[in-house]
Amino acid sequence: MIELRDISVAIGQKQILSDISMELGNGNWISLVGPNGAGKTTLLKVLLGVIPYGGSAHENSVEIYRNHNRSVAYIPQNPQIPNGMRVYEYVGLGTRKFDGWSRESKESSHLISDTLKDLGLWALRDQMLNEISGGELQRAHLARILVQGAKLVLLDEPTSALDLHHQIAVLNRLENLKQQGVTIVSTMHDLTLAAMFADQIAVMSGGKLLKFGDASAMAHSPDLKAAFNNQISVYTLDSGNPVILPQRDN
């Protein structure tokens, strides 16, 4: 369980987050949504424990900030990639915590290979990272996270560079991870996908939390429309799933 109480973050004179309070249950998928500048990425960094904040943030009753004993993995929007590294080697970095640097266990080898195959990267395993496309690189980042075995996974726009087919494949893979008890917190610009995959949605705007609750309820919430200046429309399919689209200017 992660408990945030009255979280605030300021950089110089600029207030980035104000009075954020919520509880994130273990094994849930929480999606942070809102317009650019809402504070979503900053909140991910609070959860990661790498920036100071006012208020309190606890994971299993232990303060998050600079707690290096946590089982957490993070993919920022624009991750740095190591020079001179192949796809297989890069993904294998996720297992080094268990194997050390001198050898790779058979279990890790099978896990890396299976994950590369699941994400459609097996044919690229010997390619250099700087030789693959942006979407392929994004899947390589995710593969490294998947083999890491973290209990908390933080993702900043994990599908932004992917085509629709690979978006669904990646999100299904994350869904499988959640079913294994992993807690996922992601930012997502695609509100329909956020409502489809997340258990809960946190609607943010201007550094504040407008509403937090069940994903289906949040998809139809007036607070979601308000966060986007009432410029979105929500439709419900026969299946009951919401489709959330921007309104076209007249």
pLDDT digits (tens, 9 = 90+) for 8-67: 999 999 999 999 999 999 999 999 999 999 999 999 999 999 999 999 999 999 999 989
Residue with tokens 């100071």: 52
Max alpha carbon distance in the chain (Å)?
A: 62
Q: What long-range pairs does 77-86 form, CB within 8 A, spacing at least 24?
A: 77/41, 77/156, 77/157, 77/160, 79/141, 81/129, 81/130, 81/137, 82/129, 83/130, 84/128, 85/128, 85/129, 86/125, 86/126, 86/127, 86/128, 86/129
pLDDT tens string 83-122: 899 999 999 998 887 777 777 888 889 999 999 999 999 9
The pLDDT of 163-187, averaged and rounded, is 92
DSSP state of 222: H
Residue 156 pLDDT exceeds 80: yes
Token pair of 143 as six digits: 């593969």
pLDDT of residue 250: 60
Percent of the chain exceeding pLDDT 90 equals 73
